Every structure is written in structure tokens, then in C-alpha cells.
Amino acid sequence: MELSLFLATFGTVFLAELIGDKALYTISTLATRYRALPLFCGFTVAFMAKMLAAVLLGRVISTLPTPLIAGVAAATFFLMAIVLWLKEPHSEPIAPAPSSGWSSAMLIGFGAIFFTEWGDVGQIAAATLVASYQAPFIVWLGATLAMVTKGVLAMTLGVSLRKRVPRKILRLGAVCLCLLMGVLSVLKIAA
């Protein structure tokens, strides 16, 4: 029963999150700019916390007002666009200092995921599975691993782009994607 619930949770959350999810674009965009390991650590902690919230407060999260959720997401994407735009690009690969490179990549990875997409399909699926099966740890574990798997796939795409596309083009693309996600979030408020 526990293994089948774990696999059902993983499959449900993973497939639900792959279809039109903004976190895929967010992580792959961030991976074009930041080191993979600290970015991975940041988004992993964010996914763990978000799924814990889904497990503990599942139904409450899914009933939050859409304008509030969309407003926080829009503000986060616009802030990310501003930070990416103002950060001066380097012609050579950046070799940040161990403490500042790690901490900034982790914080950006965490913030970009944690402060966006509350009450999304993955969280609602996890909350529903907890309500149905009363197995919060197994659902949390399966849902978190599904989200981390999605994040690793997105990060791999971003790292691959970083190796093949000039940094100036990646920076402009990242700013445009963040602005687009912010506008889409604002439109969600208006709807």
C-alpha cells in the first residue's frame, strides 16, 4: 500500500506539473545564470517546504483567493526580471566566491520557486491524496521527489543552453521570460 501510494503520488504530481508549469521555465532560466548545485539545493528546499505546506494545509491553500496568489507570483517574476536586467553580464564564465555564489544561487533558487505558484496542480494533488489516504509523509515524499525530478530536468536544459548560447542573449531571454510570467500573473488577477 505505501509503495503504491508513493508511486501514485510521484506519478500524479510529476505529470501534472510537467504540463504548462512555470517552474520549468523559471528553473531552466536560472540554470543559465547560476551554478547547478546551489540552485538545486535552493529549489529542493523550496519544493520540500511547498509540499509540506500542501500536506499540512492542502485544502486551505487551494481556497486562497486567486488574486492574492497571482499577485505574489507577479511581484516575484517582476523582481527577478529587474535583478537579472541590472546584474551586469560577464563575457567569461563567472567563478563566484564560495560563500556569495552559493548563497545567492540558493536564495534565488529558493525564492523563485517558493514565492510563486501556490495552490498549483501539484499541491492540490498532494493535498487530495493526503485527504484520501491519511498518509502525509508518504505523499509528501512522493510529491517532493516528483517536484525535484522536474527541477533537475529543467536545470539540465538551462545548463545545456548556457554552454551553447551567448550570455547576453540568455540574459535578455531570461528578463523577457520573467516579464512575460509577471504579465501572465497580473492577467490572472484581472480575470
Contact 167/88 with Cβ under 8 angstroms? no
Instruction: Name the pLDDT band for 58 (thresholds 50, 70, 90).
Output: low
Report how far residue 147's alpha carbon sits from residue 17's, in angstroms, rounded to the nearest whole number: 8
Per-residue pLDDT averaged across 150-169, rounded? 81
Half-sphere exposure of 17 (CA within 13 A, CB side): 32
Report how far residue 43's alpha carbon sits from residue 41's, in angstroms, rounded to the nearest whole number: 6
Supply 51's cell numbers: 509540499
Span 111-121, pLDDT tens digits: 888 888 777 77
170: pLDDT strictly greater than 80: no
Query: 153 or 18, which is more confident?
Result: 153
pTM over 0.75: no
In the chain the first and final C-alpha atoms are separated, in Å, by: 41
Supply 28's cell numbers: 531552466
148: pLDDT strictly greater than 50: yes
